[in-house]
Structure 1
Amino acid sequence: MTRGIVLLAHGSRDERWRQPIEAVAARVLADEPDARVACAYMELAEPDLPTAVATLVADGATAIRVVPLFLGMGKHAREDLPHQLDALRQRWPAIGFTLARIVGEEPELVDLLARIAVKS
């Protein structure tokens, strides 16, 4: 099994907004050099999720984990993303898709944000 990882974020017209998302992708690759990682955006930036998945599939991914880089469970994570995943599963039935929890629900991130908030 060759796993791909999609780091999915909201998106913005401002190119600088992409930098932290791409920094996470670079960190994943630094920690896991054999990983196949792509960034994707729900709106206002490219690539979108289907395009990022197509790139990973073309690169040999047979399983894809989508990691939503959202702090809260908004409409994109609650409604739009499940519909997009259903469409991806129909388009690529041989690919195993998994959806991670939004990062804002991960205890490690909550702890880190709290530490950042109180540091001097």
Structure 2
Amino acid sequence: MQQRLTLLKDAGVISQVAHDGTIKAVDLLVTEWQLDTSTEQLQMAMTHLARAVDRILSDQPIEQGLDEDILAEIMNDNEFPVIQAINNKVLDVFGIEQAPDTENTFFLSNLFSLYCAK
């Protein structure tokens, strides 16, 4: 995971801030949920997180979020409070109090998928 993020940083795809924060977010998820950092699912989710953080910090979030029906399914799941809590902790790592809804819907979706797969 760290190699992938370093490659992205060195290639100029993500910033140093996104790199460092994503490393901390991975550590948080491993600690909280005992995730395996070698899984493609975690690596893809964290790559998305790093890119999204750069967009948020540069005030250029995506315009369209996750499909509303899919988001509603996630939010209606009994485990959603766990997902929301870890999402807030991940955002705190970057000093982001409130992510734009369009970006946050994908954060929640990725975390929900990771949680279900653990």
**Interval containing the TM-score (normalised by the shorter chain):** under 0.3
Larger strand share, 1 or 2: 1
TM-score (norm 1): 0.27
Larger helix share, 1 or 2: 2
